[in-house]
Structure 1
Amino acid sequence: MGLKIKNLSGGYAGNRILKNVSFNVDNGKIVALIGLNGAGKSTTMNHIIGELQPTSGTIVLNGTNIVQEPTAFKSKIAYIPEQPILYDELTLAEHLHLMLAAHGLDDDETWENVLSLLRRFRLEDKLHWLPIHFSKGMRQKVMLVSAFMLQAPLLIVDEPFLGLDTLAQRDVVELMRQQANQGGSVLMTTHLLSSATAFVDEFVVLRDGEVQFIGTPTSLADSYQLPLAKLDDLFDMMQKESADGVE
């Protein structure tokens, strides 16, 4: 099943930003939601995580409707925002235990998985550190550990590679692939399109709050007559289209 978004319209403070947005993130798939700044990516994400209420349309995850069963829906997702959010007064260990407890997962078996993730991201010796001592990359790694440890059916990641070194980027890709291979699903945003072609199953392109394209990396590259290795040039082409008024 996975995430099903159908005819979603909504926005902020009465401003209609999304216009009948429809796409799926099937179980076992990694989908990248892309577009220029202002296209509606963050608005879409905020509707999916329940921060915004749709004016029309439906958002359903594995049969659970976010409007009808908001608590059950939110229990099925793990979200990594673009900017890390940490409590200044809590150590790394306290952050992780708090989140696990909130999801009813703070037991020895789950903690073993947490320790494995901490070792993967080279944070195992930072359990008693406060966030003030974390670099930007370390803060992002904490958010990654916090999300992956929940083993939620749907992982939502906003620009997962910001501030990460090459090794950490590789680890994130491996964990997202593992999520998909185990029957979960991943929805992400990224500006690193050429790199994403190696692991993303589908791209969903938003433009002015509407879905412009849904398809594989190859079909997206073909539609703009670009080689996969040059797909990063897509944003320049989209910007030029917007400037020229191309619909």
Structure 2
Amino acid sequence: MTLKVSHLVGGYSQIPVLKDVSFEVQPGELVGLIGLNGAGKSTTIKHIIGLLEPQKGEITIDGVTLFDDPKKYKTKLAYIPETPVLYDELTLKEHLELTMMAYNLDHDEAWKKANRLLKMFRLDKKLDWFPANFSKGMRQKVMITCAFITNAEIFIIDEPFYGLDPLAIRDLTGLIDEVKVQGAAVLMSTHVLETAQKICDRFVMLNHGQVEAQGDLSDLQDQMNKQDADLSDIYLEMTQGDSAHE
């Protein structure tokens, strides 16, 4: 299941934030979306998940756009936002059941997955808790659990590491590896470049709403003419002198 962004122009107003952005995420790979605040990462993600409509270009999942077949497109997609979005009046158990209904999941199979993830993230004794009782990290773990109980084939993960302890970061990267092996495509936005370099197969580096460079680390080193540089060195070189902020 391939995610393809083709010549995307878009943003929040008539003046586009994104200017001819193109990249793909193939089955079984994790692509890191890298860039300064204001570079267009969040805007790109909002277009992919359907919160913004492209001004030009298109986004497809296996050749299908959101407008061609909204149900098919959305059921292939799971999204973990940077800021957890939970319903104050629903317990953890009810959040999971809502996700199961939204994705039309098999109840027994979904709960088998959920119970494993709840134990992994030490949430298994908190099924009756409401979001008001959760820390930022716990809220993030709820979002991760909801995403990974689905049968999604495209995972969009926005800045997932903030608020997570080292053990939870290890568990999340393990889950990403698992879905990759199953053939899912994963797009992850992050500023944690040391971790990104270790776990991402390829990178898309955005700068001022355009793709500055893309490829694996070796490709980026060639494109930026910085052999032996790590991802942080390449990132700093690309963004040197920029002062864009969201």
TM-score normalised to structure 1 length: 0.93
- Deviation >6 Å, runs of 4+: none
Structure-to-structure mapping, 1:92-241, within 5 angstroms: 92-105=92-105, 107-221=107-221, 223=224, 225=226, 227=228, 230-241=230-241
Task: Note the 1:30-69 alignment, pairs <5 A.
Answer: 30-69=30-69
Alignment partners' CA distance in 1, 2:210 and 2:34: 12
Query: Matched residues in 1 for 2:139 and 2:68: separation?
Result: 34
Q: Return closer, same or farther for 1:126/1:106 CA change in 2, 3 Å cut-off.
A: farther
Provide Cα deviations, 1:106-161, integer angstroms capped at 9, x if missing partner: 51121111101111111111101111111110000000001011120000000111
C-alpha distance after superposition, 1:179-233 (max 9, x if no partner): 11111110010111122112101000111111111110233245363756x5334
Count the aligned residue pairs: 242
Question: How far off is 1:235 after superposition?
Answer: 4.1
For normalisation by structure 2, the TM-score amounts to 0.93
Q: What secondary structure is seen at the aligned counterpart in 1 of 2:105?
A: coil
Gaps of 5+ in 2: none
Residues in 1 aligned to 2:110 and 2:4: alpha-carbon distance in whole angstroms: 29
- Map of 1:67-106 to 2, 5 A cutoff? 67-105=67-105
Asked whether the 8 Å contact 2:220–2:234 carries over to 1, the reply is no
SS state at 1:4 partner: strand
Q: In the alignment, is the contact (CA less than 8 A) between 2:207 and 2:239 conserved in 1?
A: no
* Displacement of 1:65: 1.5
Unaligned runs of 5+ in 1: none
**Counterpart secondary structure, 2:198:** coil
1-structure distance, mates of 2:227, 2:106: 48
